[in-house]
Every structure is written in structure tokens, then in C-alpha cells.
Structure 1
Amino acid sequence: MTVTRRTLAVATAGLALPAVARAQDWPNGAIRIIVPFAAGGSTDAVARLAAPGLTQRLGVPVVVENRSGAAGSLGTHAVAQARPDGQTWLLTFDSHATLPALLPNLPFNLTRDLEPVLLIGGAPYVIATRPDKPYRSLQDIVAAARARPDAINYGSTGNGTIGHLTMILLGNRAEIRMAHLPYRGGGLAVNDTVAGHVEMMIGSAALVAPQISAGNLRPVVQFGPERLPALREVPTAAESGFPGLEAEAWWGVFAPRGTPAAAKQRMQQALTESFREERVSRTMTETQQARLVLAGPEDFAKFLERQIETWGGVVRNHNIQAD
């Protein structure tokens, strides 16, 4: 048989048909959104906020599955090695960008094995403490830490997370030493701070906002470029004498490398529409204190590259080790 341009085109089209059919048939069963942190944290809350809208728009059950451990790498690895059939997705947090520097022997490649789908939004980091603690300003924290080096402790959502790295930068700038207590999830850090087991914690505004509203925590300082509308009385780090010290949490969705383009596009659309619902949008911006971005794959990829460079540098420069 003589292979002509026409027969080659027909053969190639025939090979492509099954993949096209699979993409058109998607979704064909329950969808898993893996959150690589424990239940109760802001990432878990964001995923569960999106799930009902996704179920409605995609017509299949959407299940949120928590797989915490190793700074979020266990759950992330599960998605990286999942079949790229559009049935498994990752909804993760800002510490995603620190994984290559924090865990240099990762069994997956962050940018090769996972594809950005949607940058949902972000929220500034906040230091919060119990109302009966003596810390009412960042200056109070600095003074206490200088008077008692390594005696004042704080909780974070884990070793090498952006909150932890922000406190390291604060320590360097203020020339103080504080004891770090890493938790496996934001909910656990919040619980122990409310209970008084730690002096204070650093977490995203989304994480601490419910307890601040309930009066169980008092915000001391926020690390955004400007004050949040809901925290108008709380100064930024720049206003507290540390210009340039900024840190914002973010949430994003990724797919295993090779997931059909049609499935990624439909998932991106369903996610965007879900977060734009009035109830969901209001919960994100008011209750979670987040700024919705809803940026697509190209912009998300550029954003992630900058985050890896910035925070990965902090990890390497300070020899931060994973838990």
C-alpha cells in the first residue's frame, strides 16, 4: 500500500477519534477534588464552597477528599500520578509554590506533571491571637520576643508554608527569635490558638476570619499591601514599621498532565461560574476575606512561576526543612 498524504490524514484522524470522544463524554462519573491538607482549613473551605456549584453544572457528584501530609506533597502526588481522564483534580494552597525548594526529592515535577487550570483568588496573611493575650500590635510581639528569645511561640499551617516563611522574614527584619509550632492544617492551628495552647498564629485572612468575627481571636497585623475592608482597624506590616513585608495566600486548581483540553476548559468554566454565584462570591469576599481573581491557565502559570521564585528563594536561603 502506498502511503499518501490523504491516507495519512485519514489514519491520523481515526487515531484521534477515541480521545475526542472521551473528551466529549466527560465527565463520566464522580469527580474527585483532592485537597492536600486536613479538613477545617481555608483550602478545604474553598473546595467545599465550590463543590455544589460544580455538581450542578457538570451533572455528576463532586467529592472533596482531604489527603494531608508532607507539606501538601502527599495529596499533590496523588493527583500528579492520577489518570489524566478529568476525574481527579487538585485544589491547593500557596505553599504549593514552595514544594520544589522544600522537598528537592519530590517524586513528581511541579510544573511538568501538573497543569494550571484556574487561579481562584487570594487573601493576606494575618497574625491573630486570643483576646486575653497581651499582643495588641506588631510592636508588642516584637518587644515580647526581644525580651524572651525563643519563648514566645506561634502556630502556622506547616513548616515551609508561606505563613512560616513570612514569620522568618519578620524575625530577620526585627532581629527576634520565636518558637515555631507547625500544624498539619489550618483548622488545627486555629483550634489550638483559640484554646490558648499557642500564643498566636499566622494564617490567611480566610482562615482566621470566622474566629475573628466570633470574637475568639483578635487580629494584630495583616500582611497585604493595604487594609482589608473587614479589618479596617488592623494595620498592615508596612504601617507597623516593616515596609515591603507582604504575604498573600492564594488558592488554585490543577489537573494531571495530559488531561484533555476540553475537560480542562469545561472545568475552568464551571469553576468560574460557581465562584461568581452571588452566594459563593459573597462568602469568599466577606466571610473568607478573599479577593477573587479567576485567572485562566496562562496567567496562572506566570503567577506560579513568580511565586516559586520568590518563596523558593526564602526556603533555600534559610535552609528550611520539611516536617
Structure 2
Amino acid sequence: MRTSARIILFTSLIGIPLAGFAQPFPSKPIRLIVPFSTGGSADTLARTTQTPLSEVLGQPIVIDNRGGASGTIGTDLAAKAQPDGHTILLVTTTYTVIPSLMKKLPYDPRKDLAPVSLVVSQPNILAVHPSVPAKTVKELVALAKAKPNTLNFAGGGNGSSPHLSGELLKIVAGVQITHVPYKGSGPAVTDLIGGHVHMMFAGPLAFEQHIKAGRLRALAVAANKRSPILPQVPTMAEAGYPGIETGTWFAILAPANTPKAVINTLHQAVFKVVHDPNLASRFAKLGVDVVGSGPAELGRHMEAEMTKWAKLVRQAGITLD
């Protein structure tokens, strides 16, 4: 028997396919781990893209919310998953902040997960519960200075964008307000609406419907320009507090060692979904910016973010509560 014939017979007997020994991708449902609770910005984004992403990839997308520990529980779960593309992770800005706050992470954020695509980004909005007697940022700051350590602000966990935005407000405005961490922005927004906390920074994905319904009062947008969905709301600079420009970005990662071809397939699917005219229009109406960048660009972005937030954490002396 010739050598090539022996190889074909051997591989067929043990069930290993030829053509590079690769299974077609995807070959089964894809698990999308969202390391935050339901109802928050990350969860909303995951569910908004779930159906179109399933249609493009030809397999169901199964959302798995694993909130807790500022996103590290779900992230660790994804980092230890089989690197075949059938488990992916949706992260936010928090992913690049946590390494500066938690020195003993159960995973290495630079080595254990691979960048796939930066999906969308959104500016943060400073909103208060209607019971707070402040209709501008200056009135809020005056109230906080008159009653130090009385007002509090919600955050989607330690190291989240809402948390760091509040810390920036403390530094820039010179006020003493208390951070109240939650397991994601979903429960934080729920308590803000209920009047259990006074204020919070979050994006349109979490706030927009509640602001328009009058359940929350928007004071300012933490960006260099006003939001098209809230044109009457000033920027933090216009409100008298420049230097508070924060936002939240959302990205897809995969376990390290996931084949490059699989990562490219996932990126192409994400890009196609978020740039679909119907979905892009929907995002625009929510004040969300579509990105869809590739693995290399996302990798550079995350590295730059880790450097930026590490500097802020040191300067502000931020520690875990």
C-alpha cells in the first residue's frame, strides 16, 4: 500500500478529517459570555446583536450572563474555555481598568484572551434621580459641597466606566461623594430609578429610555460634543467641568490560541452585523457609535486603554471598596 493511501485509511479510521484537520466553523451554537448582570448596557448590546449575528454565522448565539467581581468571573470562564471560537466574551472598558485595581486576577488580560472586534462605543451621561434638587452640574456640585459624604453615585462594579467617571467628578469638582458598586449597570440603574442612589454615569444604552420617560434627569454628557439623542443636554465642559470625558466601549474577545481563521470569521460577522443599515440606524438613534474594528486595531486600543487607566488609578488613589 502506498504511503498516501495509508494516511487516508488511517485518518478515516480514527475519525480525523483531512484538509488541515479543521472542522468547519461554526459547527455548533456559539456561547456569548456577558460578564455582567441582565438589563445593563452590555446585556442590551448582546441581545440587540444576538439574532442578526446568529443569522450571519448560521448558528444560534446563546447569551450567558455571568455577573460579579467587576466582570472577572465571566471573563475567567471565557479565558479557560476551549479555544475553538464557540465561546466568546463581550467586554467593556472595565476589562482594561481591572488590572490596575486587582493585582491577583485569575487570568492574564494580555495573554489569556485574544482580540476579535471593537463593536461599538458610547459616551457617558451624568444623570440623577428626580428627587435630587439639582438641575445642573453646578447645582449638584454645590449640593455635594454643602453636604460632604452625603450624596452617592452608582457604578456597574469597581473599575467600571461609571465608577471611574464618578471618581473623575470627585477630583475635578472637588467633592466628596460615595461610590456604591453593583454587579453591572442593570441593577445600578434599577436602584437609581428607585431613588436608592442619587446619581450615576452611564451610556444611552442604559439611560436613554428612562431619561425620556422622566424617570431620570440628565445633567451633562461626558464627551466633547452633545449627544444627538439629547441635544438639549450640555457637555461636562459646557457645564463648567472640562476634563471629564469618559465613555464605554464594547468588544468581543475569544480564548487565546483560537485559530486566526476563526477569529477573522467572527470579526467579519460582527462587522457585517453592526454596519447593516437597519441596525446602524438603530444604534444611531440610541446615541451609540458603530465601530466594528479588527483584531489588530482592538489589541492596540486595549493596550492604550490599560496604560491610560493605570495612570488615572495611580493619580486618583482609587482602590477597591
Assess same fold via TM > 0.5: yes
2:20 is equivalent to residue 20 of structure 1: yes
Structure 1 equivalent of residue 315 of structure 2: 317
Name which of 287, 290, 293 aligns with 2:291. Answer: 293
Match of 2:269 in 1: 270
2:3 maps to which residue? none
Partner of 1:126: 125
Taking a change above 3 Å as real, the CA distance of residues 174 and 74 of structure 1, as seen in their structure-2 partners, is same
Number of equivalent positions: 309
Q: What are the equivalent positions in structure 2 for 1:97-246 lying under 5 Å apart?
A: 97-246=96-245
Distance 2:320 2:177 in 1: 18
SS of the residue corresponding to residue 20 of structure 1 reads coil
Q: Which residue of 2 aligns with 1:87?
A: 86
Find the counterpart in structure 2 of residue 51 from structure 1.
50
The 8 Å contact of residues 116 and 253 in structure 1, kept in 2 or not, is answered as yes
- Is 1:30 the counterpart of 2:29 in the alignment? yes
Q: Which amino acid aligns with 2:189?
A: V
The 3-state SS of whatever aligns with 1:229 is coil
Percent identity over paired residues:
35
How far the C-alpha of 1:240 sits from its partner, in A, is 1.7
Distance in 2 separating the partners of 1:19 and 1:201: 53
8 A contact 1:162–1:311 mirrored in 2: no
* CA deviation string 1:75-104 (max 9, x = no partner): 111111111011100011111111211111
Deviations 1:33-80 (A, max 9, x none): 000000000101111111111211222111010001111011111111
Give a deviation string over 1:273-323, Cα, whole Å, max 9, x none.
111223322222213x21111111111111111111111222233343335
Match of 2:278 in 1: 279
Distance 2:280 2:320 in 1: 34
2:255 is matched by which residue type in structure 1? P
The one-letter code matched in structure 2 to 1:310 is K
The structure-2 alpha-carbon separation of the partners of 1:213 and 1:105, relative to structure 1 and needing over 3 Å to count, comes to same
Q: For the residues of structure 1 that align with 2:242 and 2:150, how far apart are their CA atoms?
A: 26
User: What is the TM-score with the length of structure 1 in the denominator?
Assistant: 0.90
Matches of 1:161 and 1:187, distance apart in 2: 13
Contact map agreement 1:160 1:315 (CA 8 A) in 2:
no
**Cα distance in 1 between the residues matched to 2:21 and 2:120:** 33
State the shift of 1:19 in Å.
Answer: 8.4
Q: Distance in 2 between matches of 1:59 and 1:188?
A: 33
Aligned-partner SS, 1:202: strand
Shift of 1:18: 6.0
* Aligned partner of residue 210 in structure 2, secondary structure: helix
Instruction: Note the alpha carbon deviations across 1:240-293, whole angstroms, 9 max, x for none.
Output: 222232101100000111111111111111111111223322222213x21111
Q: Which amino acid counterpart does residue 60 of structure 1 have in structure 2?
A: Q
Scaled by the length of structure 2, the TM-score of the pair is 0.91
Q: Distance in 2 between matches of 1:119 and 1:18?
A: 34
Q: Unmatched 5+ residue regions in structure 1? A: 1-9
**Contact conserved, 2:153 with 2:166, CA < 8 A, in 1?**
no
One-letter amino acid matched to 1:293: V
Distance 2:212 2:59 in 1: 35
Cα distance in 2 for partners of 1:19, 1:305 equals: 36
Whole-angstrom distance in 1 between the partners of 2:300 and 2:224: 20
Query: What letter matches 2:237 in structure 1?
Result: A
Q: Counterpart of 1:117 in 2: which secondary structure?
A: strand
Match of 1:4 in 2: none
SS of the residue corresponding to residue 78 of structure 1 reads helix
Deviations 1:203-238 (A, max 9, x none): 122211121122211111110111011111111111
Aligned CA RMSD, in angstroms, stands at 2.0
Match for residue 308 of structure 1 among 303, 306, 309: 306
Helix, strand or coil at the partner of 1:177: coil
